[in-house]
């Protein structure tokens, strides 16, 4: 049975894009973490960045933490779509809900580490670098906390959805599948400070960053039609 009032579903359909914009405001414009601080930088170099840009960095962290709020309706809608695909509250729905929770936690705590580094920028450079490292290592290498969202989107779209009148289009399934595959090498950032596998390298940062942006840019084109046809 379809609902006549789909306000919250449409909020969820557009909130992924709003999340990307607010997180991007913090990451790109305020923090200027694009590209990231080099993992090969010395403690003094890292501390200098947090001292010189303390206020913009604090504002950036607040923006990124607030972006977590916009993830709630987006992920809630994805969970409801998983339920519709399964036609029950099955394993896919439950696992999508669980990985959504861990993603929300990670999205909040990553900028919290950077805010701690900027909050007392007069501390020893080694402590500031430690807090910065904790943020970057979790943001770039914490993929087990959100990686399965793409796996479940791919599985739901490519395996469970019927080819006729699918809730999620197959192209979104392939986008999710390739995003999941190309994110896996990001775990190598724990072993490299320079080169393509470092957290500022082509494999450690640039490819995942582009895929992350493309995925959330695509969500309204997938979720809005899904709400119109299936809710």
Q: Quick one: pLDDT at residue 164?
A: 85
Mean pLDDT, to the nearest integer, of 143-170? 93
The total number of structural domains that make up the chain: 1
Q: Is residue 1 part of a domain?
A: no
Q: Is residue 2 part of a domain?
A: no
Q: How many CB atoms lie within 10 A of CB 3?
A: 10
In whole angstroms, what is the distance from residue 199 CA to residue 185 CA?
11
Mean pLDDT, to the nearest integer, of 4-32? 95
pLDDT tens digits for range 184-216: 999 999 999 999 999 999 999 999 999 999 999
Instruction: Give me the domain span that covers residue 45.
Output: 7-230
* N-to-C CA span, the chain: 8
Burial state string for 145-165 with b = 16 or more CB within 10 A and e = fewer than 16: bbbbbbbbbbbbbbebbeeee
At residue 76 the predicted structure's pLDDT band, cuts being 50, 70 and 90, is: very high
Q: Is residue 75 part of a domain?
A: yes
Q: In the 8-state DSSP scheme, what is residue 184?
A: G
């Amino acid at each position: 049975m379809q609902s006549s009032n789909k306000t919250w579903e449409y909020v969820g359909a557009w909130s992924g894009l709003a999340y990307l914009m607010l997180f991007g405001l913090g990451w790109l414009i305020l923090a200027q973490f694009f590209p990231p601080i080099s993992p090969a930088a010395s403690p003094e170099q890292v501390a200098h960045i947090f001292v010189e840009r303390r206020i913009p960095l604090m504002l950036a962290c607040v923006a990124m933490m607030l972006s977590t709020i916009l993830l709630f309706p987006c992920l809630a809608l994805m969970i409801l779509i998983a339920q519709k695909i399964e036609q029950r509250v099955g394993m896919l729905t439950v696992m999508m809900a669980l990985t959504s929770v861990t993603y929300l936690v990670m999205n909040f705590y990553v900028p919290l580490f950077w805010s701690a580094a900027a909050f007392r920028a007069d501390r020893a450079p080694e402590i500031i670098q430690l807090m910065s490292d904790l943020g970057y290592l979790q943001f770039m290498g914490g993929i087990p906390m959100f990686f399965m969202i793409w796996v479940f989107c791919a599985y739901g779209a490519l395996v469970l959805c019927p080819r006729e009148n699918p809730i999620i289009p197959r192209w979104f399934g392939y986008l999710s599948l390739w995003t999941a595959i190309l994110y896996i090498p990001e775990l190598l950032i724990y072993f490299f400070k320079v080169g393509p596998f470092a957290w500022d390298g082509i494999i450690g940062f640039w490819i995942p960053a582009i895929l992350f942006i493309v995925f959330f840019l695509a969500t309204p084109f997938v979720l809005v039609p899904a709400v119109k046809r299936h809710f």
